[in-house]
């Protein structure tokens, strides 16, 4: 009997340690929860650090961001993400903002990634474009996919979500 008790004691300690670890939030989990809460409340800024064009060409990502506060959204990209449309060949940074933007949570994938959709974000180009935002599981990192009015890919980006400062 003592032999079984000595064998069960380490097993019980191991299981107790696993249960204790499950309830302790790691820094990545806290960052994910903060990012998820910011996205759910529609008060967030996505600081973009990588931007890719239609054909996968990496573009300048300096000071690029997506900001959302309720139904108001603002988007800013460096000039080489979208082709300039004026006759001088340069428009500076592309900034767009709009009211009545629809933002909704679409689903949570099996791996834990959460997807959101922003519709009407590209109205400055006279399109009803869409942006699919994927928040990675246990991280505050996101992947953004931009689509035009015909639901064709129009570029992508990667960044970090943070709550909008009050």
Tokens 């428009």 correspond to what residue?
Answer: 91
Residues pairing with 157 in the sheet = 51, 144
Contact by Cβ (8 Å): 122, 107: no
CA-nearest of 108, 113, 95, 101 to 44 is 101
User: What CATH number did the domain enclosing 140 receive?
Assistant: 2.40.128.410
Contact by Cβ (8 Å): 43, 163: yes
Is-above-0.75 flag for pTM?
Answer: no
Contact by Cβ (8 Å): 115, 103: no
Contact by Cβ (8 Å): 141, 157: no
Question: Could you tell me if residue 137 is inside a domain?
Answer: yes
pLDDT digits 0-9 by tens, 20-69: 444 445 667 899 999 999 999 999 999 999 888 777 778 777 788 999 99
- Please give the DSSP secondary-structure letter assigned to residue 123: G
Question: Could you tell me if residue 3 is inside a domain?
Answer: no
Of the CA atoms within 13 Å of residue 3, those in its CB half-sphere come to 0
pLDDT digits 0-9 by tens, 118-162: 887 544 444 467 889 999 998 999 999 988 777 888 888 999 999
Domain that holds residue 51: 28-163
Question: Could you tell me if residue 23 is inside a domain?
Answer: no
Question: Could you tell me if residue 13 is inside a domain?
Answer: no
């Amino acid at each position: 009997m003592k032999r079984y008790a000595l064998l069960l004691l380490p097993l019980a300690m191991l299981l107790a340690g696993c249960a204790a670890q499950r309830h302790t939030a790691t820094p990545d989990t806290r960052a994910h929860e903060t990012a998820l809460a910011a996205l759910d409340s529609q008060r967030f800024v996505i600081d973009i650090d990588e931007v890719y064009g239609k054909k996968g060409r990496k573009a300048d990502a300096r000071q690029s961001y997506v900001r959302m506060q309720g139904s108001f959204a603002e988007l800013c990209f460096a000039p080489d993400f979208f082709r300039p449309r004026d006759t001088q060949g340069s428009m500076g940074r592309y900034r767009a903002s709009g009211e009545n933007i629809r933002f909704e949570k679409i689903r949570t994938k099996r791996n834990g990634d959460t997807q959101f959709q922003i519709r009407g974000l590209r109205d400055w180009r006279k399109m009803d474009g869409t942006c699919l935002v994927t928040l990675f599981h246990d991280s505050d990192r996101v992947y953004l996919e931009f689509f035009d009015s015909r639901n064709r890919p129009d570029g992508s980006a990667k960044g970090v979500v943070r709550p909008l400062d009050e």
